[in-house]
Amino acid sequence: MNKKGFTLIETIMVIAILALLMLILVPNVISLINKNNIKSCQNLEDSIKNAAKVYVANNKYQLGFSCDTAKEITIQTLVDSGDLKLTDNKLVNPVSGKDIPLSSKIKVTYNCTTKDFNYEFDEFVTNEFKLCD
């Protein structure tokens, strides 16, 4: 007898092996993608803060900081100054997929005691970056 093709048992075994591989691989791939998105989100947050630090360092006298006073800087200001580079003229949170508006603000406060600046995002951006944790 000339045998061409697979028996039912062979086909079922192949399907079972593929299903087992999928059960093992899919959760690992999803976990890896989520970790990568969270790391990208944290990097985006750091990039915005670092751009704000550079902007403040270059413009602190023009901004007129005094003790414990706050100034607000928009993300658009950081882009216009060249301190923050954008891809496709927008910022997207890699975890949520939402656009972060360029009108979002970073509140910069100067502390005279520590002689240091504190940087805080506005509520929308803060809520977006909570997804990064």
pLDDT band for position 24 (cuts 50, 70, 90): very high
> Does residue 3 fall inside a structural domain?
no
- Is 106 among the domain residues? yes
**Integer Cα distance of 89 and 99 in angstroms:** 11
Is 94 within the bounds of a domain?
yes
Q: Across residues 1-5, what is the average pLDDT? A: 69
Provide the pLDDT for residue 95: 81
Asked whether residue 75 is assigned to any structural domain, the reply reads yes
- Total domains, the chain: 1
Q: Which residues of 7-43 are buried (b: 16+ CB within 10 A; e: fewer)?
A: eeeeeeeeeeeeeeeeeeeeeeeeeeeeeebeeebee
What is residue 1's predicted lDDT score, i.e. its pLDDT? 58
Cross-strand pairs, 73:
106
Tokens 């509140």 correspond to: 107
Asked whether residue 2 is domain-assigned, the answer is no
More confident residue, 100 or 52: 52
pTM: 0.74
DSSP state, residue 103: T
Please indicate whether residue 1 or residue 58 has the higher confidence score (pLDDT): 58
User: pLDDT for 63-112, tens place per residue?
Assistant: 888 887 889 999 999 999 999 998 888 888 888 888 888 888 899 998 88
User: Is residue 57 assigned to a domain?
Assistant: yes
What is the residue range of 15's domain?
8-130
Residue 38 falls inside a structural domain:
yes
| 3-class SS letters over 77-88 | HHHHCCCCCCEC
Residue 48 resides in a domain? yes
